[in-house]
Structure 1
Amino acid sequence: MHEEIGSYEAKTKLPEILRRVEAGEAFTVTNRGRAIADVIPSRAGDRLRTETAIANILKAKKHRISDVELAELKNAGRR
């Protein structure tokens, strides 16, 4: 549920509102009691994290380890 906030209050408390939105809260900005806009957290960060994870997975798939390297890693882990 979005918390309603008047346009004047939204203007005067914008930095605080943006911090709260960044933390996951959502607001509906009203003007004279009418809903004008919704301020919700951006999903751009989610997309960037997803793209980075995919790129890392694809990069890892390209790296091949020889049997000798694998044996050395196993032995190093047992020390």
Structure 2
Amino acid sequence: MDASIGAFEAKAQLSRLLRAVENGERFTITVRGKPVADLVPHRSDPGQGVGAAVAALRAFPRIRGVSAADVASFVSEGRR
């Protein structure tokens, strides 16, 4: 769960917050109670999320029994 912290307090405690984030904690920084930023751990491998997304899409069940003509018909219905 993310902890919420005001911008002034975050500025005053930045070193402590960075140590906490390094240990996996997450913070939402607010200005006058409105969320404006998230302080989250850095991902060292930016492609890591892409690989997981591709794997999830490949594992997604395929729709069977619908012809290409039916799909084209469905698409054209949505464009009216």
Q: Counterparts of 1:28 and 1:10 in 2: how far apart (Å)?
A: 10
Aligned length: 46
Gaps of 5+ in 2: 49-80
Residue aligning to 1:39? 39
Q: Quote the sequence identity (%).
A: 48
Amino acid at match of 1:33: G
Amino acid at match of 2:14: L
Residue aligning to 2:14? 14
1:2-32 deviation digits (Å, cap 9, x = unpaired): 1000000000000000000000000000000
Residue aligning to 2:28? 28
Q: Counterparts of 1:32 and 1:2 in 2: how far apart (Å)?
A: 18
1:7-59 deviation digits (Å, cap 9, x = unpaired): 00000000000000000000000000000100000011xx2xx8xxxxxxxxx
More helix by share: 1
Residue aligning to 1:3? 3
Please, what is the CA RMSD of the aligned residues?
A: 1.3
Task: Name segments (4+ residues, structure 1) moved above 3 Å.
Answer: none
Gaps of 5+ in 1: 51-79
